[in-house]
Chain A
Amino acid sequence: MTEYLQQHGSTLLCITLYVGVIIYLNQWFGKIAARNVNAYYLAERKIPGWVVSLAFFSTFISTSTYIGQAGESFRFGFSWVYVGLIWVLFCIISWLFLGPRMRAQSVRLKSVTVPDYFHLRYQSDLSRVIRVLSSLIILFATMWYMTGIAKGGANLLSVVLEMPYWLGAFFLIFFTCAYTVIGGMYGVMWTDAVQGILMLIVAAMMVVIPFVYVGGWDPMFEKLSNLSHPGPNGEPLGNDLLEFGKTTTFAYILAIGFSIGMKQISDPKLIIRFYSIKNKKDMRFAMIWTPIFLGLSLLAVMSVGALVHTMVTPEQAIGLMEDSDETVGLMFKIFDNPLLTGIAMMGLFAAGMSSLASVTLIAGTSIVKDIWQMWKPMTDRATVLNTKFSMVAYCIVVYLFTLDPPAGVVEMSSFAGSVFAASFFPTIFGGLYFRWGTDLGALASMIAGMIVNSVWRFGIRFSVPGMENIHEVFPAFAISLLVYVIVSKMTAKRKPDEKHLDVVFGK
């Protein structure tokens, strides 16, 4: 015990400090959030731009990025930064084309969740079905995503603190669940902002550590240009990590870049951020600064794995090639600086928890506001209370999945992203921009997106030779978009009346 505390005392101290700050913040905001549904679900649309900006960044970026993606560059080299470039592009698209319109229309329609936006925007006898179906899709995709994040965090705890995997997963999921239940959207937003600042600091730290370890820029690139570690094909890497496409294919970069990056234009946990922004000035701030926070951190994080090659032995490299999710944990273990490890652990926890908290809240609001209330109307007080219970129940199910995860961190996260992109983007974008979009177009595109995603992933991608690198996001997104346009045009008579559309579009 004494030996364990000597070895891990600083890390444990940093984590305790972090946990303390998060509890304090959520207790403080919990009192305000408990007032009513709008406070608990949307923070009363009173959140400043810098907070929303950091919250969007920290919610989109998760342990999956700081552990999984950073680890992937151990296998795929510096070419992996292209994934970061694609994500930054989608971040800019999201804030330019969805942010202001979503904020404006959600106010006009008095929408408080993404599924209820679909209900109110497409207004018809089918819009309740669209609302319930979109909530079920959220719950399905979210399960994959949360399992991925919890797996990444639990792996890290087991490497750095020698904590059993099941205990690490338990701590991560239920601590996050507890503070989300207390603080609601107010707590989640402000906690996310604090976590975002911490994540920016840790991104910078992660990229500097390998350089300090090997003694600077020149020794780093000298080592990287002549690596004896075996690459993905078993041959020595040489300078392959520095050359584009030598250790991975552009198709795989595009697959991960698009499937995860597109979450920014379709994932309800990110889209809901637009709802809470305070005013025009704050919107402009967030439109400029969110891509900056994301871009700078990704330039660092996406390069880390490749740099770690200079810190590990050939035996360790073989292990990391097989399970690159352990790259970052091993880097801190080798660097062996308890204080830096402690700070990094806070940042990595922040990355996981900020995303977990946002998804937990989205799952709870979907269950209660968009499914349960469709059958049983309830008071504001009962809605908030039931949302809290639903979040706890959902986290228990996620924990059970995490004990035996079905895939790697990056793959689980990218599958969830692909489901959101294909099932929601046409309905969101069409809702925001096209007066001709209809309820049947929305419903058909959601169903098509879900079906193509699942069939491609579970029936084609890994069963048909040569299809492995064609990610489900491409066929699913293309078909879903096409279905939205064709079905909407074919059912033009079902579009909402002009009076309603004038309210939606503010004319």
Chain B
Amino acid sequence: MDAYTLFPYWFIIVLLIVNAIAVGRIEIDIEDEHPSNEQHD
């Protein structure tokens, strides 16, 4: 298998690790408490 064909195999793994680290550090801006599910139109 040449280097170009191998590239996505290892790059996907690297991406997943980087994403996990990044998401662990960012601030997520959503309300924790349960919203009332009242309708509005």
Chain A residues in contact with chain B, CB under 8 A?
36-38, 42, 44-46, 77-79, 81-82, 84-85, 88-89, 92, 95-96, 100-101, 103-104, 107, 109-110, 112, 116, 120, 221, 242-245, 279-281, 283-284, 287-288, 291-292, 295, 298-299, 506
Distance (whole angstroms) from the CB of A46 to the closest CB of chain B: 7
Number of A-B contacts (CB under 8 A): 97
Q: For the A-B complex with A45-B35, A110-B39, A242-B5 known, give 11 more contacts whose Cβ atoms are closer than 8 Å.
A: A38-B39, A42-B37, A85-B12, A85-B15, A88-B16, A243-B1, A243-B2, A244-B4, A244-B5, A279-B33, A288-B24
Distance (whole angstroms) from the CB of B22 to the closest CB of chain A: 8
The A interface is mostly helix, strand or loop, or mixed, namely helix
Whether B35 and A78, one on each chain, are in contact in the complex, defined by CB atoms closer than 8 angstroms, is: no
- Alpha-carbon gap, A100 to B27, bound state (A): 10
- Alpha-carbon gap, A45 to B38, bound state (A): 12
Hey, which chain A residues are within 8 Å of B41, CB to CB? 116
For B1-28 the 0/1 string (1 means CB < 8 A from A) is 1101100110111011001101110001
Do A45 and B39 contact each other (CB < 8 Å), given the known contacts A84-B12, A88-B12, A243-B2? no
Whether A283 and B30, one on each chain, are in contact in the complex, defined by CB atoms closer than 8 angstroms, is: yes
Distance (whole angstroms) from the CB of A175 to the closest CB of chain B: 30
Closest A-B pairs by Cβ, 7 of them: A244-B4, A38-B37, A110-B40, A85-B8, A81-B8, A279-B32, A107-B35
Whether B16 and A295, one on each chain, are in contact in the complex, defined by CB atoms closer than 8 angstroms, is: yes
- Alpha-carbon gap, A221 to B6, bound state (A): 14
Distance (whole angstroms) from the CB of A309 to the closest CB of chain B: 14
Q: Nearest residue in B to A92 (C-beta to C-beta)? A: B19
Distance (whole angstroms) from the CB of B29 to the closest CB of chain A: 6
Hey, which chain B residues are within 8 Å of A284, CB to CB? 23-24, 28
Do A85 and B11 contact each other (CB < 8 Å), given the known contacts A242-B5, A244-B4? yes
Distance (whole angstroms) from the CB of B10 to the closest CB of chain A: 10
- Alpha-carbon gap, A46 to B33, bound state (A): 11
Whether A242 and B38, one on each chain, are in contact in the complex, defined by CB atoms closer than 8 angstroms, is: no
Whether A112 and B39, one on each chain, are in contact in the complex, defined by CB atoms closer than 8 angstroms, is: yes
Do A242 and B37 contact each other (CB < 8 Å), given the known contacts A85-B12, A104-B30? no
